[in-house]
Amino acid sequence: MRTKVLLAYSGGLDTSVCIRWLTERGYHVIAFCADVGQGENLRPVRDRAYACGAEKVIIRDLKEPFAREYILPALKAGAVYEGSYLLATALSRPLIAQAMAQAAKAEGAAVAAHGCTGKGNDQVRIELSLKIIHPGLKVMAPVREWEMKSRSEEVKYALRHRLPIAHRRESRFSIDQNLWGVSIESGPLEDPWVEPPAAAYRWTADPARAPAKPERLTIDFRKGVPVGLNGRRVGLIDLIRRLNRTGGRHGVGRTDLMEDRLVGIKSREVYEAPAATILHAAHRELEHLTLDREALAFREIVAQRYARLIYDGLWFTPLKTALDSFIERIQEKVTGTVRVKLFKGNAACVGRRSPHSRYVKGFATYEGKDLFDQKAAAGFITIWGLPYIGV
């Protein structure tokens, strides 16, 4: 009997070539397509997998678990990598690995395969997650093994084997997208000095061409979870989609980053993540209203570590679970509403309120009824300065 391989299949060039390459080597390929909200019709993807030689195609709708179990924790944690990457691609990998591990068990596949290159983070995220969840599974990464050294060699291989790839329509960029954002790399972006051309972007308008009038919206949070938009309750996926559309129209959520990959390579990455940008800004704003200074400062450290472990493929680890407990605890008071103004590429928080607000107008005010005893400040400064000034 031929060995069954469960291959993570996107429908793109690399994984299409993977199917053929694996079948050529005698494997029985089961193509596994994950719907993480990439917004693509998966029917042609399925047909393409069969046309490339897959014996079975599995399509899994993972949008709900992606939003609930991956995007939400990252949002609550304030996870941002190197100051600007909101981790859309990185977050989807452990989920895809988890679903693959399940499918491999159900299908009796002893091998899992993916189409990641040996130079990126995704191979680490997928393989490490698979190893942790399903230690018995063998993992193959054809792209790391085969002789083809470039995209054009892969295209040649595909044409030689009559694989139905859309090579003429393939963009100059390497793109990964899901509900939480788009990651764009390669092509002209490989020169860090070159400004990303307009064609690099898919979701966002050029801020210079965005509407001349700002658009205001309100976002309601309950314990750190966004639950409402403009005063109406909205499901999480719907809310993210709407914010992607509205934010995108206003050119919100573009970033251009010289990024440090886990494997030691610096690479230039362009991202579009309108909803993620708006939600992170609003959530953070609400935390600043409802959390005390020490909690905020510590949460900042946690946010950085959390972002790093998502980036580094350490989702299924004890540290992640432990940090989740901290984050959940701290979100208890993060309930309220934030007003956001979208304008020419910016998402500015212009108003916030909460039943757990720690803001005391009587302390902050410069006029009227002052509750703050200014005379007490002199004593405070004396004691605060004691270690430096002495007697």
Contact residues toward ligand ARG (CB under 6 A) are: 89-90, 121, 174-176, 183, 185, 259, 269
Of the candidates 174, 183, 267, 354, the residue annotated as catalytic is 174
What is the smallest separation between the CB atom of 218 and ligand ARG, expressed in angstroms?
A: 31
Can you count the helices (H) and strands (E) in the chain?
Answer: 14, 14
287 class by beta-carbon count within 10 Å (0-12 exposed, 13-18 middle, 19+ buried)? buried
Torsion over CA: 291, 294, 300, 306 (sign):
negative
Q: What number of other Cβ atoms are within 10 A of residue 276's Cβ? A: 28
Place of tokens 């470039």: 150
The neighbour count for residue 203, using CB atoms within 10 Å, is 21
Cβ-based nearer residue to ligand ARG, 31 or 90:
90
Could you tell me the two tokens for 389?
């000034």
Which residue, 92 or 244, is less far from ligand ARG as judged by CB? 92
Q: How far is the CB of 173 from ligand ARG (least distance, A)?
A: 8
Collect all residues with Cβ–Cβ distance below 8 Å to 311 and sequence separation of at least 6: 81, 85, 87, 90, 121, 262
Whether 14 is a known active-site residue: answer: yes
Least CB distance to ligand ARG at residue 49 (A) = 19
Q: Cβ 12 to ligand ARG, closest distance in Å?
A: 9
Q: Which residues, in sequence order, are CB contacts of 307 under 8 Å at separation 6+?
A: 74, 77, 79, 80, 81, 87
Residue 337, exposed/middle/buried by CB under 10 A (0-12, 13-18, 19+)? middle
Measured CA to CA, the distance from residue 11 to residue 17 in angstroms comes to 10
Per annotation, catalytic residue among 20, 46, 93, 352? 93
Question: Is the Cβ of residue 122 or residue 287 nearer to ligand ARG in the bound state?
Answer: 122
**CB of 45 or CB of 90, closer to ligand ARG:** 90
Distance CA 35, CA 63 (A): 6
Shortest CB 103 distance to ligand ARG, Å: 22
> Does residue 370 have an active-site annotation?
no
Q: How far is it, in rounded angstroms, from Cα 334 to Cα 332?
A: 6
Asked if residues 63 and 35 have their Cβ atoms less than 8 Å apart, the reply is: yes
Is 93 one of the catalytic residues? yes
Known catalytic membership, residue 174: yes
Q: Which is nearer to ligand ARG, 54 or 126 (CB)?
A: 126
CB 8 within 8 A of CB 29: no
- Choice between 15 and 174, CB closer to ligand ARG: 174
Cβ at position 160, least distance to ligand ARG in Å = 24
Query: From the candidates 122, 220, 267, 352, which is the catalytic residue?
Result: 122
Active site residues: 14, 93, 122, 174
